[in-house]
Amino acid sequence: MNSNRSIRFKPYIMILPALLLVALFSYIPFVLTFLNSVHSVSLGGERLAFVGFSNYRRLFSNPSFHASLSNTLRFTLFFVPTNIIVTLSAALLSNRKGWLANLNRIFFFLPMAVGMSSMLMILKMMFNPTIGIINRLIGINIQWFNDPDAAMALLVVAGVFLGIGFDFLLFSAALRNVPNDLKEVALINGANGFQIFRHLELPLIAPTLVFIVVTNIKNAMLISAPVLILTEGGPFRSTQTLVYQMYLEGFKSGNYALGSAIAIVVFLLTFTALLILLHLERRRIYYQ
C-alpha cells in the first residue's frame, strides 16, 4: 500500500521543481506586475492603495512614455526590414559551392559566437566620433551618440550584428533545402537568378521567413541591452525604448507602479506578435 501510494505521487514529485519555478518566476510575478500596475507602490515594494487605472492614465499622458512607445515602434520598423534584407542577402549570396563560399558562410555566422555585451562594447568603441575607427576610416564626422537620427541608426546596426548569426543560419538552412534539380530545370528553361528567387526559392523558404520576421518583431519590441550599453536612451530620449524606460522607472526612480504599467503594455505588444506566430504555426509553418 505504502509503495503503491509513493508510485502514485512519484510523477508529481518529479515535476515539482519545474512547477515551483514556473509559479515563482512566471505566474506569480505576472500577477504581481498586474497588481502593482493598479496600485500605488512604496519604495520598499509594498502595495499601498488600489488606484484603478490611474497609473495607466498617468502613463499615457506622460511625454516620456510617448517617446518610448514611438521609439520602440520606430526601431521595430527600421530594424526588421534592414535585418531581413541583410541576412537574406547573405544567405542567398553564399548559397553556392567552393571554399570561398564556405569561408563567407563562416564569417556570416561568426557574430553569433560573440557575447552580446562584447559586441556592443566593440561597436561603442568603433563608433566613437573622435577616435572610433568608423568615422576616421570613412572620413566622416557623424556624432553617433549626439544626433538623434544617427543614434537610432546605430541601434539598428547593433541589432543586425547581434541577430545576423542565427538568422543567417536559419535562412541558409532553408535555402539549402530547395531541391537543386528544380533550379536546374528553371535555368534550362531560361529563368534568370531573380526569377528563380521570386518564383521558386521565396515560396519554399516562406515559413522560415515568416518565423524570422515574427521573432525579429518580438525581439525588437523588447530591445533594452543595446540602449543601456550604447546610448542610454539619448540624445534627448530619442532612443529611449519601452523596456529601457521600465528599467529606469523601476530601478532608478523606484517608481514600481509606473514601471509595472509599462511592463503590462510590453506584454500586450509582444503577446500580439506571438499570437500571430501561433496562428501562422497552425497553418503548418515550422519553427523551434
- Give 151 or 174: the residue with its C-beta nearer to other proteins: 174
Query: What are residue 89's phi and psi, to 5 degrees?
Result: -60, -45
The DSSP code sequence of 202-238 is HHHHHHHHHHHHHHHHHHHHT--HHIIIIITT-STTT
- Give 80 or 124: the residue with its C-beta nearer to other proteins: 124
Report the interhelical angle of 256-282 vs 63-93 (nearest 10°).
30
- Rounded least distance, CB 279 to other proteins, Å: 13
Cβ atoms 107, 164 nearer than 8 A: no
- Rounded least distance, CB 282 to other proteins, Å: 15
- Rounded least distance, CB 119 to other proteins, Å: 7
d(C-alpha 52, C-alpha 146), whole Å: 39
Under DSSP, the state recorded for 41 is E
- Give 35 or 51: the residue with its C-beta nearer to other proteins: 35
- Rounded least distance, CB 147 to other proteins, Å: 20
CB within 8 Å of 171: residues ≥ 6 apart: 87, 88, 90, 91, 92, 205, 208, 209, 212
- Give 30 or 236: the residue with its C-beta nearer to other proteins: 30
d(C-alpha 66, C-alpha 93), whole Å: 40
The residue among 73, 77, 65, 76 whose CA lies nearest residue 262 is 65
Cβ atoms 95, 175 nearer than 8 A: yes
- Rounded least distance, CB 104 to other proteins, Å: 4
CB within 8 Å of 148: residues ≥ 6 apart: 235, 236, 238, 239
- Give 77 or 110: the residue with its C-beta nearer to other proteins: 110
- Rounded least distance, CB 243 to other proteins, Å: 6
- Rounded least distance, CB 66 to other proteins, Å: 19
- Give 142 or 229: the residue with its C-beta nearer to other proteins: 229
- Give 30 or 53: the residue with its C-beta nearer to other proteins: 30
Cβ atoms 170, 177 nearer than 8 A: no
d(C-alpha 179, C-alpha 183), whole Å: 7
